[in-house]
């Protein structure tokens, strides 16, 4: 039963607000559903990653379109991952990223290339919204799109983007984040980059920020540790994209593709799991509108967009472990209400 797991980026979720710390929940939901579709924010653990044939790595805007019913997903054996590097990355840091790509080729057998630098720096800037959520701006989106088009023309079937991000290693915000509180200041801008490129090219895309190394912090929160294991955030992106499904416009005009039994069709979605306070995203609202069960899980963040405030009907789970139980119940055709007590008796309604 295909199931969506959505944990929005840049809103400081207690689980999923750090690099890859939602992976255990994703693995459990994949086991319960047999088929989990989720986005890079859930799967990306910097130097750490987890490959599972039941988990499909789909960029956020493409996941929204899948939930809306305008996109299907075609599983593939491998993608040829083009590497797009920001011209603003310093030579030494660029070399580090190239070495990561070579390591993934030599050690994991991934097909990576070509590699292309933008013709001008992308000029990423970071912002913070009134809610406290992070977002950002891209000074030269035209350079990003030109480079993406060139990679697609050269045969890339998926694109990993590395942009140089501004940094302030002495900031109080970063110190709080490393100690387990606050919001990932980079995440919102990363989403801007990957959404723009995916929507423009129709290819699987994901982003890794280029940053200088941080000094050792003995008080590091375990959730932040994955981000400090290496010199880049690129390994998980290359692994995720290497088997990301193709994005197929839906309904599909090609009969052979439309009839492919492996194709993941939007009408097959059985449930969407999302934080109880962040139910206002496009994927959740589209699923609710289409009558797909919404499972809301307590996962504190800077938002309070709840089912009650939206007027949505949702199944409430006390944890992601309980959400996995509800997914399994739906997969097995068990009515969730039958799992709770008291169980009200049926009433007879006589027609007029």
Q: How far apart are CA 212 and CA 219, in angstroms?
A: 20
Query: Is the domain of 230 the same as that of 122?
Result: yes
So what's the pLDDT on residue 352? 59
Q: How many CB atoms are located within 10 Å of the residue 241 CB?
A: 28
User: Of 244, 264, 294, at which residue does a domain stop?
Assistant: 244
Global pTM value: 0.95
Q: Which of 275, 295, 328, 287 is nearest to 64 (CA)?
A: 287
Q: How far apart are CA 236 and CA 312, in angstroms?
A: 35
Query: Is the domain of 35 the same as that of 113?
Result: no
In total, the chain counts a number of residues equal to 352
Residue 338 domain boundaries: 1-75+251-352
Domains held by the chain: number: 2
Q: How far apart are CA 204 and CA 191, in angstroms?
A: 13
DSSP-assigned letter for residue 83: E
Query: Is the domain of 71 the same as that of 83?
Result: no
Query: Is the domain of 20 the same as that of 101?
Result: no
Tell me the Cα Rg of the chain: 21
Q: Which of 268, 240, 316, 262 is nearest to 20 (CA)?
A: 240
Query: Is the domain of 98 the same as that of 139?
Result: yes
Q: What is the CATH number of the domain that holds 190?
A: 3.40.50
Q: How far apart are CA 309 and CA 280, in angstroms?
A: 10
Query: Is the domain of 159 the same as that of 212?
Result: yes
- Which DSSP string corresponds to 248-270? EESS-S-HHHHT-TT-B-GGG--
Pairing state between β 71-74 and 3-5:
unpaired
Query: Is the domain of 266 the same as that of 206?
Result: no
Question: For every one of its 352 residues, what pLDDT tens digit does the chain have, with 9 covering 90 and above?
Answer: 999 999 999 999 999 999 999 999 999 999 999 999 999 999 999 999 999 999 999 999 999 999 999 999 999 999 999 999 999 999 999 999 999 999 999 999 999 999 999 999 999 999 888 888 998 999 999 999 999 999 999 999 999 999 999 988 778 888 888 888 889 888 899 999 999 999 999 999 999 999 998 888 888 999 999 988 888 999 999 999 999 999 999 998 888 888 899 999 999 999 999 999 999 999 999 999 999 999 999 999 999 999 999 999 999 999 999 999 999 999 999 999 999 999 999 999 887 5
Query: Is the domain of 81 the same as that of 189?
Result: yes
Q: How far apart are CA 204 and CA 65, in angstroms?
A: 13
Q: Which of 107, 61, 40 is nearest to 202 (CA)?
A: 61
Query: Is the domain of 128 the same as that of 255?
Result: no
Query: Is the domain of 86 the same as that of 59?
Result: no
Q: How far apart are CA 326 and CA 273, in angstroms?
A: 10
189 within 8 A of 135, measured Cβ to Cβ: yes
Query: Is the domain of 297 the same as that of 200?
Result: no
User: Of 244, 268, 285, at which residue does a domain stop?
Assistant: 244
Buried b (16+ CB within 10 A) or exposed e, 49-77: bbeeeebbbbbbbbbbbbbbbebbbeeee
Q: Which of 208, 190, 183, 242 is nearest to 60 (CA)?
A: 190
> Going by C-beta distance under 8 Å and a sequence separation of 6 or more, which residues neighbour residue 137?
124, 125, 127, 189, 192
Q: Which of 27, 19, 35 is nearest to 245 (CA)?
A: 35
User: Of 212, 244, 276, at which residue does a domain stop?
Assistant: 244
Query: Is the domain of 238 the same as that of 97?
Result: yes
So what's the pLDDT on residue 240? 98
> Going by C-beta distance under 8 Å and a sequence separation of 6 or more, which residues neighbour residue 145?
196, 197, 200
């Amino acid at each position: 039963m295909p199931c969506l797991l959505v944990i929005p980026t840049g809103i400081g979720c207690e689980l999923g607000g750090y690099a890859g710390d939602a992976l255990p929940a994703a693995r459990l939901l994949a086991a319960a559903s047999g088929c989990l579709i989720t986005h890079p924010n859930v799967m990306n653990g910097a130097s750490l990653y987890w490959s599972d044939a039941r988990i499909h790595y789909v960029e956020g805007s493409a996941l929204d379109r899948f939930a809306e019913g305008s996109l299907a997903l075609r599983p593939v054996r491998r993608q040829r991952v083009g590497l797009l590097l920001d011209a603003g990355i310093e030579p030494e840091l660029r070399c580090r990223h190239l070495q990561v790509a070579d390591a993934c080729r030599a050690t994991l057998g991934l097909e990576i290339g070509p590699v292309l630098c933008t013709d001008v720096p992308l000029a990423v800037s970071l912002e913070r919204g009134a809610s406290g959520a992070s977002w950002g701006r891209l000074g030269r989106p035209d350079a990003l799109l030109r480079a993406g088009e060139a990679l697609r023309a050269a045969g890339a079937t998926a694109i990993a983007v590395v942009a140089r991000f501004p940094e302030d290693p002495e900031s109080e915000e970063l110190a709080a984040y490393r100690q387990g509180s606050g919001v990932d200041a980079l995440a919102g801008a990363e989403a801007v980059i990957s959404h723009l490129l995916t929507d423009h090219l129709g290819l699987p895309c994901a982003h890794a920020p280029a940053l200088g190394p941080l000094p050792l912090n003995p008080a590091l929160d375990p959730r932040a540790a994955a981000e400090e294991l290496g010199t880049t955030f690129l390994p998980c992106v290359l692994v995720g994209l290497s088997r990301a499904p193709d994005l197929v416009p839906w309904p599909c005009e090609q009969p052979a593709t439309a009839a492919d039994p492996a194709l993941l069709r939007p009408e097959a979605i059985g449930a969407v799991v999302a934080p109880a306070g962040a139910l206002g995203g496009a994927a959740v609202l589209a699923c609710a509108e289409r009558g797909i069960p919404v499972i809301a899980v307590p996962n504190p963040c800077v938002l309070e967009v709840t089912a009650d405030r939206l007027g949505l009907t949702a199944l409430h789970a006390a944890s992601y472990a309980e959400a996995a139980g509800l997914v399994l119940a739906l997969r097995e055709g068990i009515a969730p209400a039958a799992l709770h007590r008291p169980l009200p008796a049926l009433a007879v309604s006589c027609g007029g």
